[in-house]
Structure 1
Amino acid sequence: MADVSADYVIVGGGLAGCVVASRLSQSDKKPTVILLEAGADPSSNPAAASFISGLSLLGGEFDYVYQSEPVANTDNRVHTLNTGKVLGGGTILNYGGWLRADAADYDEWAEVVGDQRWSYKGLKPWLRKTESFHDKGADPEEHGFDGPMHVTSVSAAQSGARKYLLREPVREAWEELGVSPNLQREDGRIGGLAEMNENSHDGMRQPSNLVYPLNDVKVFTNTTVHRVTFSGTTATGVELADGRKITAQKEVILCAGAYGTPKALLLSGIGPAATLKEHAIPIVHESPQVGQNLHDHSVIYLAYRLHDPSLGYALGSAPWQDPALFKSLPWDWIVSQPLPAEIITKHESNVEKQKRNLYEVISVYVPPGIPGIPIDGTHIATSTMLLLPTSRGTVSIRSKNPNDPPRIQPNYFSTQLDRDTIVHATRQTLNAMLASSSMKPIVESETPPSGEGLDGLTPLTATSSDEEIEERMRRTGTQHHHSGGTAAMGKVVDVEGKVFGVKGLRVADASIVPLPMGGHPQATLYAMAEQLVSMILKDE
């Protein structure tokens, strides 16, 4: 590739980068667009096409496999941070959950940045624009039906054939604990018992680089960007790791993600002065919040041994013969809940915030990735996740070398609220799976993970002490790979993603989301990217 130029140069070909590149290139003004991705094109790897086979991609050629700094509140463990290094980014590695945040989460985003375009009302047109929703009876005020992304609930997938034997027992277990059904998620509220929605089409993955066509975009894969170049404080393009330069006639748009975007800003001379000075990087603009405010959805995964695996409750057992059961991850229900008053009032005085959904539980009829737990039909699993964690971490650089990985300190479970939330949420999960009248005859016990560093763990029960649950959190708690916030709106960029203190540079990825959002991020990030493109085009 010789030195080239375009109207827009986009750094990072993940979820947001592909949306922004595609929409810009398809707009009436037909600007020229270059998309730069450090990873490969996944089209030659058949495992990238489906969700089940895609589990094998974690830790492989399409994954940065970043290693965190030791995290104090997880027994100083180093966490593996799976991050897409591939055209399509995380949409090549994720599990396909299509779950919006709660309306109150979006409204807080709008309040924090002072712009109602980021409220639920403001984002809803963009949430709807992304979707081609395929459930009968879906509310047209809430969902879109002619967008690029095929979305369906598990029960509606494969013409209703994807029926898991534990669907009714799990539903009954949560209703026994007082969790009310919320199948329609009316008015954007996600609390209660709802169905998993997926952006899966007949079990096949729908990555951003295919759903959003890149036919009119100059795409360069296996291309690492070193830094943004400037004339004074105006961005002029980018310099690649090999020294070649690309000129941006209008804007450089960073879409390198919660880890890659702050790294790119720092290498470009935008960030905390002390960090730039330490690495002898000339300051273009001092921006103290670059790399701060890292948030992620912390989680505990639990596995449960079944009384009688021959009954076919879990993937890997002999009765699992229907191909529909293997289409996407085997799951169906998702529970989102607030904390009880006696816990939340210790931490939060605002009555409205006391009602927020702080945790999520998913039942999965296979234990993927839990150390020491076989996938042989003997176990099912749960994910118990913090939706609105108050812990914050940081992202920085190790050197001026663009090929060095960023320095990431996630700081999971660092606040008492987060620890109290995960303990309560885990206990509720154990109550549902081990002590409810519908699940107790099916599940024998919780099985601790095993392997290096996990010696001495004992099974958790519904009556385990807070201390026992917190120990499990410290020794096995991890993340859901839903990171964001490191170039936060209102701190590093304005409400349209423009980087404060410079011209011609914008950020359009998860790093700008200023606070954690409930649900799973991709539905929100597609809508966010769509709205940001509309803002870019208005500036044309």
Structure 2
Amino acid sequence: MALEFDFIVVGSGPSGTALASRLARAPTHPRVLLLEAGGTNDDRDTRVDGQRWLTFQNKDMNWGYKTTPQAECADREIDYSRGKGLGGSSAINFGVYSVGARGDYEEWARVVGDEEFGWEAMRERFKMLETFHGDIPEGIDGKKYAAPSAEDHGTDGPLHVGFAAEWETDLPPLLDVFEEVGFPLNPDHNSGNPIGMSVLINSAHKGLRSTARDLLAGAPENLTVVTGAPVQRVILKGKRAVGVESNGKRYTACKEVILSAGALDSPRILMHSGIGPADQLEAHEIPVIHPTPAIGQGLRDHEFVPLVYTRKESSTGRKSFFGNKEAMDKALEQWKKDGTGPWSKFTCELGIGWFKLDKLVESQEFQDLPADEKKYLLQETVPHYELLTHFPIHWFIPGFPDDSLNYSCLLVFLYNAQSKGEVTLQSSDPNIPLHFNPKFLSHPFDRRAAIESLRDAFRIAKHDSYTKDNVGELAGPKSDSDEDLLEYWRENILSSWHMMGTVKMGKPGDTDAVVDGSFRLMGIEGLRVADMSVVPVLPSCHVQAVAYVTGETCADKLIKEYNL
């Protein structure tokens, strides 16, 4: 295999595959190398739709990262899973395909000063990426629950996304309760306005998970994909990137090196290449080539806690399936045959909603935010928290009792966290992960937002139309006092694995910016970063869709710049 290419892309998650695939398919057919540290992830059985909640437990597909002990969260080390192998984290995530708010992209465009990141431009890229399947089960009121507009969705992209072919019987009635309580229904959360309660758009179709690996199907010969190739450092010639080093092998790039290793690993590669905070590099005896204090700073994420209630036998069908190993085994054989059956039904369709919080906006913690942040959070389409239904919590609580499998689980997600964490060097060995410290709940606004979001969720969790089917409570705060709500977050908070912001994009001269609006690492020629690490706004969604569109946008910039 030749070791010289026009472009080298490091990392095969959503950003890297979108970028590499698009570059390779450009009319001039540039030579593109895609390097992946993990394996091929070619086992179809790891893509069962209803088992997407379990794939992260496969150690061959997960780096197994943890946070440092979180000072505001009972000193717990929190799971920080990252996907390993072709497809990256899209191969182990929970299959939510949400694009966020129009306001997110308008804010991104403002921060960077480039309308290529605005909603209209990004929406066209989302449409190019997807083949949307809008069919819903027979007998379901489509106008009420799921009525996407064709102008917001694509028809011939490599990612197959849409609604599950079968829904659990208690999903529509629960959506009705949301509406009764005062949470409006939204027939399409991917329209640019996610506000309201929706039926989830999944990154799956016909019972099969769709991952970033699908973007490599039918790849042209000028795209070379190498797995089992972790990158330790970028090779620099002065202040120009000329290639990368992987396990002692050197690959060179005539034009550019693009890092798409994610918010936790792109900073690691940069630091071990001599690009990063000088004090950290010197402490680990790494020669400082380009001191950049902002690299590794600005880590942000979404977090969540569950509310779990056991239900009457007649209210859900979960116990008859999840409580019967024979039924699950039989269903798996059916899935392997044609992708249908219970494994394409149970936990495959969820309710998901994003909402605003008047009490949060009225709080002193909100008033104390910077003016630009307040203006962003007040935009019409930008939510303050998220609710998600039908999460299979029984797979996440050790020793979950079989007699409680008829349950309802609501997840409450904290959005717009102002806490800025960091990823930092812990070794001179480039194969050792960084320290990951998101500093959850360290900002006063986050603590207030956590309290108010959980309290607002009680509007449904404590409403008669919901509680009438409850038998007992499996997980919830002691009371709705500020103290007990916050304590529940501290003891139970989990990461959504939506890490971003550690190699932030901005305008030249911004003290917190590392890359410019063309993804170029400022101060180094021939080196770009294109993944969630550069995104300057914490998006109002589950971020895999944003990762895909980030890669697509970088590809657009490169194709135009090099006249490909």
TM-score when normalising by structure 2: 0.87
1:228 aligns to what? 234
Q: Confirm or deny that 1:354 pairs with 2:378.
A: yes
Which residue does the alignment assign to 1:193?
197
RMSD: 2.3
Aligned residue in 2 for 1:326: 343
Which of 415, 419, 426 is matched with 1:398 structurally?
Answer: 426
Identify the range of structure 1 (413-422 vs 337-346) with the bigger mean alpha-carbon deviation.
Answer: 337-346
The 8 Å contact of residues 360 and 449 in structure 2, kept in 1 or not, is answered as: no
Deviation of 1:170 after TM superposition, in Å, equals 1.6
Q: What is the CA–CA distance in structure 2 between the aligned matches of 1:389 and 1:479, rounded to whole Å?
A: 12
Structure 2 portions without partners, runs of 5+: 136-146, 332-339, 368-373, 507-512
**Contact kept? 1:339, 1:354, Cα under 8 Å:** no
> Counterpart in 2 of 1:409?
437
- Conservation of the 8 A alpha-carbon contact between 1:493 and 1:500: yes
Residue pairs, 1:104-503, within 5 angstroms? 104-135=103-134, 138-153=148-163, 157-158=164-165, 162-185=166-189, 188-213=192-217, 214-216=219-221, 217-240=223-246, 242-308=247-313, 312=317, 316=322, 324-327=341-344, 329-341=347-359, 343-349=361-367, 350=374, 353-354=377-378, 356-364=382-390, 366-367=392-393, 368-374=395-401, 377-433=405-461, 435-448=462-475, 459-460=476-477, 463-490=479-506, 491-503=513-525
The question of whether the paired residues in 2 share the 8 Å contact of 1:129 and 1:527 is answered with: no
**Residue 233 of structure 2 aligns to a residue in which SS?**
strand
Which deviates further from its counterpart, 365-374 or 192-201? 365-374
Aligned to 1:76: 75
**Matched-pair contact (CA < 8 Å) for 1:176–1:436:** no
Q: Distance in 1 between matches of 2:97 and 2:191?
A: 17
Counterpart AA for 1:222: G
- Displacement of 1:54 in angstroms is 4.1
Q: Is the 8 A contact 1:343 1:420 kept in 2?
A: no
Contact 2:243–2:257 (CA under 8 A) maintained in structure 1 = yes
Aligned amino acid, residue 138 of structure 1: P
Give the share of equivalent positions with the same residue, in percent.
Answer: 30
Give, in whole Å, the separation in 1 of the partners of 2:37 and 2:453.
38
The answer for the alignment partner of 1:455 in structure 2 is none
Distance in 2 between residues matched to 1:531 and 1:226, nearest whole Å = 26
**Greater mean alpha carbon deviation, residues 123-132 or residues 318-327:** 318-327
Tell me, in whole angstroms, the C-alpha distance in 1 between the residues paired with 2:289 and 2:123.
Answer: 37
Counterpart secondary structure, 2:267: helix
- When residues 91 and 299 of structure 1 are mapped into structure 2, their CA distance, relative to the original with a 3 A threshold, is same
Which deviations, in whole Å up to 9, do the C-alpha atoms of 1:86-105 show, x marking residues without a partner?
A: 11101110121111111111
Report the CA distance shift for 1:342/1:127 in structure 2 as closer, same or farther (over 3 A): closer
Equivalent residue number for residue 142 of structure 2 = none
Amino acid at match of 1:533: A
Q: 1:537 to 1:139 in 2, by over 3 A?
A: same
Structure 1 residue 411 displacement after superposition: 0.7
Whole-Å separation in 1 of the counterparts to 2:495 and 2:202: 20
Q: Match of 1:25?
A: 24
The 1:183/1:324 distance shift into structure 2, 3 A limit, reads farther
Cα distance between partner residues in 2 of 1:388 and 1:325: 36
What amino acid is aligned across from residue 206 of structure 2 in structure 1?
Answer: D
Q: 1:515 to 1:342 in 2, by over 3 A?
A: closer
- Matching residue's letter, 2:527: L
Q: In the aligned structure 2, how far is the partner of 1:84 from the partner of 1:26?
A: 25
Code of the residue aligned with 1:326 in structure 2: it is W
Task: Report the Cα distance in structure 2 between the residues aligned to 1:186 and 1:245, rounded to whole angstroms.
Answer: 42
Q: Is the 8 A contact 1:47 1:54 kept in 2?
A: no
2:51 counterpart residue number: 53
233 and 12 in structure 1: CA distance in 2 versus 1, 3 angstrom threshold:
same
SS at match of 2:60: coil
- Deviation digits for residues 92-146 of structure 1 (CA, Å, limit 9, x no counterpart): 1012111111111111111111111112122111111112112265323222222
The CA deviation at 1:382 is 1.8
Unaligned runs of 5+ in 1: 449-458
Residue aligned with 1:347, SS: helix
User: Secondary structure in 2 aligned to 1:474?
Assistant: helix
Once the two structures are overlaid, the 10-residue window that deviates more, 477-486 or 136-145, is 136-145
Which of 545, 551, 554 is the matching residue for 1:532?
554
TM superposition score normalised by structure 1 = 0.90
For residues 398 and 106 of structure 2, the distance between their equivalents in structure 1, rounded to whole angstroms, comes to 38
